[in-house]
Structure 1
Amino acid sequence: MSRWGRPGERPGAPRAEEELREQVADHEEQAAQEGAAQGEPGRQARRDRRPSAATTARAVQSWVDQTIDQAQRQGAFDNLPGAGKPLRDVDTRADPDWWVKDLVRREQLDLSGAMPGVMQLRREKATYPEALLGLPDEAAVRARVEDFNERVLADRRRPHVGPTSPPVVGRLDVEEMVQLWRDARRG
C-alpha cells in the first residue's frame, strides 16, 4: 500500500461517493414528498433528475476537505519551502497587472524602449546637462543638443489622435547647454 492509499484509488473517494449517494437519495425522497404534496402521480419522473449543483458542490467540497485532512495527517505538507514565512504582498490592494510588474521587477527589464516617443524624449531631457559631460569638445555638445532638438521637432510633426492636446517636450537652448558643459569641465 502506498503513502496515498491503494494503487489506482483516489484518497477519500469512496467516502465521497457514499456521501453523494446519500445526498441523491435525500434529494429523491424530498422530491417525492413534494410531488405527493402537489398531487403528482409518481416518483419516477423526479428520480431521473440529477442532483442540484449545490448538492454536487457540497459533495465535492467534502471530498476535497477529506483529501486535505488525510494529506495533513500523513505529513504531505510538512517541511515545504516557505513554511512559517509570511506571504509576500498579501496586504496590498488587488492589482490586475501584478504579474507583469512582478516579471519586470524580477527580470530587471528596461521598458524605456516601450514608452511613447514623447516620454522617451522627456526622460532624455531630464539627463541634460550631465549626459554631456563625457563629450570631448564643444562641437560634439552642439551636435548632441541639436540632434535632440531635431527629434523633438519630428515628434511634434507626428499626427495626434484624440480629444486632448498632444504632449510636447521643450527644446534645449544649445548655447546654454554649451555653457553648462564648459562650467562643468572647468569645475
Structure 2
Amino acid sequence: MSGRKPPKVSFRWWVDRQIAEARERGEFDDLPGTGKPLPKPTGNDAATDWVLREVRKGGHDTKALLPPALALKREVQDLPARLAGERTERQVRDVVEELNTRIRQAYLNHHTGPPLTVALVDVEEALEDWRRSRAAS
C-alpha cells in the first residue's frame, strides 16, 4: 500500500489495512512486551500514562509535570506536611515566605494554562498551625 491515503477511502479503513498487512508480514513479531499484559489504565491517555511511568521509574516527582498554577495549588495543600519537618520558627517562616514570593511571581507572569487561583499563605497562621502540631506530638 502506498504511503498516502487513497482518495474516497476512509481513514480508519486505510489505517486498519496497513496494520493488517504489517501483521501478515510479521512486523509485529518479537516486539518488546509481546505476550505481557497491558499496564492498568489510570484514566489518562496512553502518552500520559507512559510519561508518568517513566518519570516514576526514574525516581522523579510527578508534581514537576503540573502546570505552574496547579503545582502551586498542590504545594499549598501539601504545606502542613512540609512544615512538619522544619525544626525552627525561622525555617517555617522562610518556607512560607519563599512560597508566597513564588505565588506573587506567578500572578505577575501567568499567561497560559489553567487559571491561577491560589491565595497567599498567611505566615502567622501557618506558624501557629506548626506550633500546635508540634505541641500535640
Q: CA deviation at 1:108?
A: 4.7
Equivalent in 48, 61, 65 of residue 114 of structure 1: 65
TM-score normalized by structure 1? 0.44
C-alpha distance in structure 2 between counterparts of 1:148 and 1:166, whole Å: 18
Deviates more, 1:113-122 or 1:147-156: 113-122
Which amino acid in structure 2 is aligned with residue 147 of structure 1?
Answer: E
Distance 1:148 1:89, change over 3 A: same
* Structure 1 residues 119 and 161: CA distance shift in structure 2, 3 A: closer
1:54-106 alpha-carbon deviations (Å, 9 max, x no partner): xxx99xx5xx69xxxxxxxxxxxxxxxx9xxx74138969x542544553455
Which runs of 5 or more residues in structure 2 are unaligned?
Answer: 1-19, 27-32
- CA distance in structure 1 between the aligned counterparts of 2:64 and 2:97, rounded to whole angstroms: 22
Q: Structure 1 residues 172 and 89 mapped into 2: Cα distance closer, same or farther (>3 Å)?
A: same
Assess, with a 3 A threshold, how the Cα gap between structure 1 residues 161 and 128 changes in structure 2: closer, same or farther: closer
Partner of 1:183: 132
SS of residue matched to 1:129: helix
Structure 1: stretches of 5+ with no match in the other structure: 1-56, 66-81
- 2:80: which partner in 1? 129
Amino acid at match of 1:149: N
Q: Percent identity?
A: 31
Query: 1:172 aligned to 2:94?
Result: no
CA distance in 2, matches of 1:135, 1:90: 38
The one-letter code sitting in structure 2 at the alignment partner of 1:138 is E
1:23 is aligned to none
Q: Distance in 2 between matches of 1:91 and 1:130?
A: 30
CA distance in 1, matches of 2:119, 2:60: 28
Larger radius of gyration: 1
Is the CA contact 2:103–2:118 (under 8 Å) kept in the aligned structure 1? Answer: yes
Task: Report the count of equivalent residues.
Answer: 106
Question: Counterpart in 2 of 1:151?
Answer: 102
Partner of 2:92: 141
Choose between structure 1 and 2 for higher RCO, CA contacts under 8 A separated by at least 6 residues: 2
